[in-house]
Amino acid sequence: MTGTEATTTKCRRCNRALRSAESVARQLGPTCAKKEAAKTADFSIDQVVAARQILADGGVTRTRRDLSGPLFLVATSPYTKYWTSPTECSCIRGQRGELCKHLAAVRISLAA
Ligand SMILES: [Zn+2]
Ligand SMILES: [Zn+2]
């Protein structure tokens, strides 16, 4: 017994213990990293980074399942919140039909 269990890093998506240094650094196992990459392939790096920050800050709240699917409240600050589904967002970019960091955050949260 070395007592290293206490410092084992687990995948933040599936909670499995991570082995490689790369996986530990991103707190994500290789399979889950691929799933996330597939879900965010359409987004810019900046949007994905911003989306991860929103998720890390606990800014994505699943509210209910409406007729067209899950609906989320995405908060980028205590005063700035958007209604976001996996395909639509209430922010200015979303209303123009463009991809935004809120959509990226929702899709990452659904990528499990
Ligand atoms: Zn995982
Ligand atoms: Zn948006």
Whether pTM > 0.85 for this model: the answer is no
Q: What is the pLDDT of residue 53?
A: 95
Per-domain residue ranges of the chain: 1-39, 43-112
Centre of ligand 2 from the C-alpha of residue 7, in Å = 36
**Alpha helical stretches, state H, 1-112:** 21-26, 30-39, 45-56, 92-95, 101-109
Q: What is the pLDDT of residue 82?
A: 97
Centre of ligand 1 from the C-alpha of residue 25, in Å = 13
Collapsed DSSP state (helix, strand, coil) of residue 41: coil
CB 36, CB 28: distance < 8 Å: yes
Centre of ligand 1 from the C-alpha of residue 110, in Å = 13
**Average pLDDT by consecutive 10-residue portion of the chain (112 residues)?**
65 92 92 88 93 95 78 93 94 95 93 66
Q: What is the pLDDT of residue 1?
A: 53
Q: How far apart are CA 101 and CA 60, in angstroms?
A: 11
Centre of ligand 2 from the C-alpha of residue 5, in Å = 40
